Chains A and B, each alone.
Chain A
Amino acid sequence: MKLNKSWLETLIFIALYLSAIYIWTQPLQKNRLPYGEYDAISHVEVADYMAVNDKSLVNLPHYIDFRYGTDNIYKPHTLWYYPPFHTAFAVIQAVAGERIVPIYILNAVFSTAIIISVYFVINSLFGFLPALLSALFLVFSPLDFLPFLWGQWPERLAYAYVPLILYCFYRYYTSYADGKEKTVYLYLTAILFGINLYMHQLAAFHSLLGIAVLFVFLLIKERKAPFNFKHILLCALIIIVMLAIFPYQTGNTFARFGVKGEEAKKGFGLSRLVHWAPNPKDFTGSVPESYFSFGEMHGLWTLPFLLLGIAVLAFRRQGNDLLMLAWLVSLYLVLHRDIIGKAAFLHRSLSASAHIFAPITAIGALSLASFIKSKYKDYIKYGIFIVIAVLIISINGKSAETLKNAYAGLGRITPSQYEASEWARANIPPTSNVSVVGVPEPLYRHLPWMAVFSQRLNRFFENLPTAQDYLMVDYTDLILLNDRAGIEKLRQFESNELKKYTLLYDKNNIRIYRLK
């Protein structure tokens, strides 16, 4: 069997992609307990509920409704996201037979899907070298792995659809312009757009703008537009059916479109038009300032290549160049949508920057070879490729340390807390509240994590008269913190106040009492 070039390229990409999976799953390799901020908790609990209870979730159970009951503003107390993302997790949890790890592995595959889609589109339109460089950039993109660590998961996958949708639309348009119309690409555009909307509305909005800008660019270039009433009707039908099968979530999508976020009230300064990123000060407390810095997120060394790439694309203006420019322009428009008062999640759109900057930077860097008049042009191109790859690994690669050290130590619940939560799920009635005492306030996040696995509402303990149903006395965090004073105080509280209540669970320094 001969190893042809295309297979070799695919093998190289697969090796790179598996390396990405290895790097991105590092937080899971040493510690198999869950991690992430509140967003992550919500995604795990929705999926976990479906897998554990072996049924689809429509109305939110008590412990999820407590926090997310009004997130679906069209039909409160029902699932606020389109179901496929979380159902995919539930499917894989059911198939793999574990509650935590399969969700996190599938999520790593989903969150790195942008590497696959960018590689595929760039390889198809510009060739292997820029595609591989783009993929390498994205392996070490903090704009991608930081939201992945925090828990903004559906939009990670959703952004991977943007280049694919633009690609399909581009293929359809150019096939029409060439007189060999391939409608399969038009239908794929519609199907991928529908799924894009299922995953996250923000990315779907970006795709829609991208199609509009690409349409205008191609119309100017080709001077003819594809128009077939039957095909357009069929596409519209596909999207309508896809929206109609999840009416509560579609209702929520449209209802949310009319809501102005808090950020919108800040107004829009015209100076924003010359800045790519929103003002970091508008997001103090929710996102670190470095997240808005080009130097921190992409590396300042990439800027000349990025600018060169934009210049090359703008100068050539071939069909594939126009796709890249449309993608870039549409992201600029999305990032400045606050001009029309749509400022919600503005910083989240910024996370898509690397997806377009990476390939344009790669195209810019590799285009340097075309400026040199030499019969060794191809070798020079490979030389540039190697230099850029080394720079990416040595400079941008350092950021991967964040993944390696993510949520170490007390950042996660302890195995004892997980075990106690599982006991609570099996032994405490579903609508009961469990108050938790002993978890220090900075580790408050442990409570909703325990709620996920107990499938019971865990509330922060304030005092006995307000505590409800059950009380969990948890020494494990205090022991890990070596907080002797805290342990003693908790011990005294337990021996003085809880003697009269029934002790139901006593294991690994966690005790659960029935209060009522």
Chain B
Amino acid sequence: MKENKIFMAIILALTAIFFFAALGITGLRTIAGTILLFILPAYLILNNFDLSAQEKIVFAFFIGVGIFPSVVYLLGLVISLRAAIAITFILLIVIAFMAKKYMKKS
């Protein structure tokens, strides 16, 4: 488990270095934003289900790029888009932890 985390950290670091080297600071910010906003919340939600590690990461990306912007868009109809990004992030993280709690109980 610990080794998995180390391995994932290595991959993230390599990816960050690559984007910075090839596309500059904007590249780094873009990929960091993609991972943090689109992948991480969806991953934390999927982490509560009986899926393989690879499945969780891949589905997190493909679900995250659909769900995260959808919520941002809907919130952005009533509040500022930047505030909507922050609220959506918090909302999905809270859902992930609530799901974890609920799954543990059941």
Q: What is the interface of chain A, defined by CB distance below 8 A to chain B?
A: 1-2, 7, 10-11, 14, 18, 21-22, 25, 28-29, 50-51, 54-56, 58, 83-85, 87-88, 90-92, 94-98, 101-102, 105-106, 109-110, 113, 116-117, 120, 123-124, 157, 160-161, 164, 182, 184, 188, 191-192, 194-195, 198-199, 245-246
Contacts and interface: CB of A to CB of B under 8 A. Distances in A.
Interface residues of B, number: 45
B69 A25 contact: no
Contacts of A116: 58, 61
A118 B81 CA distance: 33
B18 A105 contact: no
B54 A124 contact: yes
A109 B82 contact: no
Contact of B34 (A2, A109, A120, A199): A109
Given A184-B50, A195-B67, 17 more contacts: A1-B6, A11-B11, A21-B22, A22-B22, A50-B76, A54-B82, A55-B80, A83-B70, A84-B67, A94-B81, A94-B82, A95-B33, A102-B33, A120-B58, A124-B55, A160-B62, A164-B62
B58 to A, nearest CB: 5
Contacts of B31: 105, 109
A416 B85 CA distance: 32
B47 interface: no
Contact of A84 (B30, B50, B73): B73
The secondary-structure label for the interface of chain A is helix
Nearest to A161: B62
B97 interface: no
Contacts, number: 148
Contacts of A2: 3
A102 B38 CA distance: 14
Given A10-B11, A54-B82, A96-B33, A120 B54 contact: yes
B58 A164 contact: yes
A206 to B, nearest CB: 16
A56 B65 CA distance: 17
Interface in B29-64: 29-31, 33-34, 37-38, 49-51, 54-55, 58-59, 61-63
A92 B70 contact: no
B81 A90 contact: yes
7 contacts: A21-B22, A56-B81, A91-B68, A105-B23, A117-B58, A184-B49, A199-B66
Nearest to A97: B29
A95 B22 contact: no
Most central of B14, B34, B84 by chain A CB within 10 Å: B34
Contacts of B66: 84, 194-195, 198-199
Interface in B4-23: 6-7, 11, 14-15, 18-19, 22-23
Contact of A87 (B18, B19, B73): B73
B15 A18 contact: yes
B68 A95 contact: no
A396 to B, nearest CB: 22
Nearest to A2: B3
Contact of A184 (B26, B51, B65, B81): B51
A337 B84 CA distance: 41
A84 B70 contact: yes
Contacts of B77: 55-56, 58
A123 B27 CA distance: 28
A231 B27 CA distance: 42
A113 B61 CA distance: 9
A164 B33 contact: no
A260 B84 CA distance: 39
B91 interface: no
Contacts of A198: 66, 70
B74 interface: yes
A92 B81 contact: no
B72 interface: yes
B63 A191 contact: yes
A91 B15 contact: no
Nearest to A52: B81
A442 to B, nearest CB: 30
A105 B61 contact: no
A84 B68 CA distance: 8
Nearest to B69: A87
A309 B22 CA distance: 37
A2 B7 CA distance: 11
Nearest first, the 8 closest Cβ-Cβ pairs linking A and B are A195-B66, A56-B76, A87-B69, A95-B33, A96-B29, A88-B69, A84-B69, A83-B73
